[in-house]
Chain A
Amino acid sequence: MPTADRSSSDIVKQVRHLSEAVAVDISGDVDLQRSPALRKTLAKLIEETPGRLILNLKEVGYMDSSGVATLVEALQRIQRKQGRLLLHSLNPRVQSIFEIARLESIFEIYPSEDEALRA
């Protein structure tokens, strides 16, 4: 049975421990002000439960390069542990920064959580 807990940081709305992955719902802007909190949370999750980490970006309205850097760092951290980082439900605005930085190809990006779970 999945378990859920609230993060101390408001940027992470919820962390769900599913049988096949850890799913993280992220909320609000991921910018210079809020990226450090996300970085800390992801580092802790990867340390505690390496494997598959699925990030739901549906409620992320804006992301800057500090947010992208946070995700690149998390990707590299989890790959060192032979895990996978999967992103899903990016809105067009968030999608565009991945395109501008030409990073779409290094991340696994899916339209929905179901598809990320099946991947």
Chain B
Amino acid sequence: MGRRENLSIHSDPVELRQVRSAIEAGGTRVGFNKKDCHAMALAVDEALANVIKHAYGGAADKKIEIEIEELNEEVKEQGLKVSIRDFGKAVEISKIKGRKLTDIRPGGLGVHIMRKVMDKVVFECPPSGGTLLRMVKYRRNEQKRKETTD
């Protein structure tokens, strides 16, 4: 099993920076390049922003739990898995979709960014309420190959 880090934050935008740092640190340990680490931090940041805006309606004092799991050599594929649990208004999973990029307007980009950056984006509605979001990004074979030839 890979290394796991659990973070518990309030739904306050000021706390998102520490999560971005933790994602980048985890990504670096797994071996992602800097660009992928930044992109994963962005995807997680967008997910958390959606929780704050939609699940908690902008309230800054609600709980969000984040688990960052480093998938390393001991498991089949290397990568980073991030789970985000909120206890707010459950999302209607069927209605979650990124807007069309040809529709140029402010907002609505978060889900598009999450899906573009991560390999897996899965929303679940636990029986106890709220939403659980699981996202995974695997290291690309090209990146692994490059290391073996360097």
Residue ranges of A at the interface with B (Cβ–Cβ < 8 Å): 29, 31-33, 62, 64-66, 68-70, 72-73, 76, 92-93, 96-97, 100-103, 106
What chain A residues lie within 8 Å of B16 (beta carbons)? 31-33
**Given A31-B45, A93-B38, CB of A62 within 8 Å of CB of B20:** yes
Chain B residues positioned under 8 Å from A68 (CB to CB): 109
A92 to chain B, nearest CB (A): 7
The answer on a CB contact under 8 Å between A29 and B17 is: yes
**Of B85-93, B110-118, B122-130, the one with at least 4 CB within 8 A of chain A:** B110-118
Question: Of A32, A64, A76, which contacts B42 at CB under 8 A?
Answer: A64
A97-B35 contact given A32-B13, A33-B13, A69-B106, CB 8 Å threshold: no
Q: Which of B14, B49, B116 contacts A66 (CB 8 A)?
A: B49
A96 touches B113 (CB 8 A): no
CB distance from B74 to the nearest CB of A (A): 31
Task: Determine the chain B residues whose CB is within 8 A of the CB of A33 once the complex forms.
Answer: 13-14, 16
* A101 in contact with B17 (CB, 8 Å): no
Are A97 and B13 in touch, CB under 8 angstroms? no
Chain A: CB-nearest residue to B52:
A32
Apart from A65-B110, A100-B116: 9 A-B pairs, beta carbons within 8 A:
A31-B45, A32-B49, A62-B20, A64-B42, A65-B107, A65-B113, A96-B42, A97-B113, A100-B112
* A100, B38: Cβ atoms closer than 8 Å: no
Closest-by-CB residue of B relative to A34 is B13
In the complex, chain B residues 56-97 whose Cβ is within 8 Å of any chain A Cβ? none
Contact residue among A73, A96, A101 (Cβ-Cβ distance under 8 Å from B109) = A101
- Alpha-carbon distance between A65 and B99 when the two chains are bound, in angstroms: 13
A residues within 8 A CB of B113?
65, 97, 100-101
Shortest Cβ gap from B135 to chain A (Å): 15
* Those of B3-61 within 8 Å (CB) of chain A: 13-14, 16-17, 20, 35, 38-39, 42, 45-46, 49, 52
Are B101 and A102 touching (Cβ within 8 A)?
Answer: yes
Asked if A96 and B106 sit within 8 Å, CB to CB, the answer is no
**Closest A-chain residue to B49, C-beta based?**
A32
Please report the C-alpha to C-alpha distance between residue A92 and residue B104 in the assembled complex, in whole angstroms. Answer: 22
12 A-B residue pairs with CB within 8 Å: A32-B49, A32-B52, A64-B46, A69-B106, A69-B107, A93-B38, A96-B35, A97-B113, A100-B112, A101-B101, A101-B109, A102-B101
